[in-house]
Amino acid sequence: MAKRYYELHVSGCTRHLPVLNISDKVAIAGFVILGDVEIVENTARDLAAKVPKDCEYVMTAETKGIPLAAELARNLGQKTYLVARKSVKAYMDDPICVEDESITTMGKQKLYLSASDVALIRGKKVLLVDDVISTGGSMKALKELAEKAGAQVCCQAAILAEGDAAKRDDIVFLEELPLLEAE
């Protein structure tokens, strides 16, 4: 059990997030949307109101961005969304790949997109989405993957911008999430 919590208010929802040390100096508030239908529905609705309406596809990296991407695509009237996978699956035909590094993932990981998904988004406007943007490493890799597929990134969006990411003017987000001091 966490000993500290951060109270988050976003899109009419209040959540008490456990504070987790990620180093001897820095802690983060652990934000997990998986299984939280209310927060996914409310934040997707609010993000849909803030992103460009001419985006043709929503794309995210697995895993925590998946329910948000699905609900956001629904809110935008899209029938399909894309998920960059963290490993090659048997059903993926001739995938393309980029490397990713994130503060919430230990070490480097790779993101993959199948050739059929590449064909779907080539020349299209794509909205990139994730639950939280912190260092920007995951979003940078997702953008690189979309561009490698020939898509035009029309917007980068997240529910929360953590730490210095909240100062960026190239992303859309709903609320700031501070980096905290480790205890």
The string of DSSP codes covering 8-23 is EEETTEEEEEEEEESS
Residue 100 in this model has a pLDDT that exceeds 60 = yes
Give a yes or no: residue 10 inside a domain: no
Return mean pLDDT, the chain.
94
Give a yes or no: residue 2 inside a domain: no
Q: What is the pLDDT of residues 23-49, one digit of tens each?
A: 999 999 999 999 999 999 999 999 999
| Total count of domains within the chain | 1
Give a yes or no: residue 66 inside a domain: yes
Across the chain, where does the E strand assignment appear? 5-10, 13-21, 26-29, 57-61, 81-84, 96-101, 108-113, 125-133, 152-162, 172-177, 180-181
Closest CA to 108 of 156, 141, 60: 141
- In this prediction, residue 74 carries a pLDDT of 98
Give a yes or no: residue 97 inside a domain: yes
The CATH number of whichever domain residue 84 belongs to comes to 3.40.50.2020
Counting residues of the chain whose pLDDT is more than 70, the rounded percentage is 95
Q: Which residue has the tokens 């990620």?
A: 22
Question: Widest CA span of the chain, in angstroms?
Answer: 49
Residue 145 in this model has a pLDDT that exceeds 90 = yes
Answer for the pair 81, 144: CB distance below 8 angstroms, yes or no.
no
Q: Count CB atoms within 10 A of the CB of residue 18.
A: 16
Give a yes or no: residue 162 inside a domain: yes
Give a yes or no: residue 12 inside a domain: no
Give a yes or no: residue 24 inside a domain: no
Give a yes or no: residue 183 inside a domain: no
Give me the mean pLDDT over the 133-141 stretch.
90
Residue 107 in this model has a pLDDT that exceeds 70 = no
Residue 129 in this model has a pLDDT that exceeds 90 = yes
| Domain, as residue range, for 128 | 32-175
Give me the mean pLDDT over the 77-101 stretch.
92
- In this prediction, residue 102 carries a pLDDT of 57
- In this prediction, residue 99 carries a pLDDT of 87
More confident residue, 45 or 63: 45
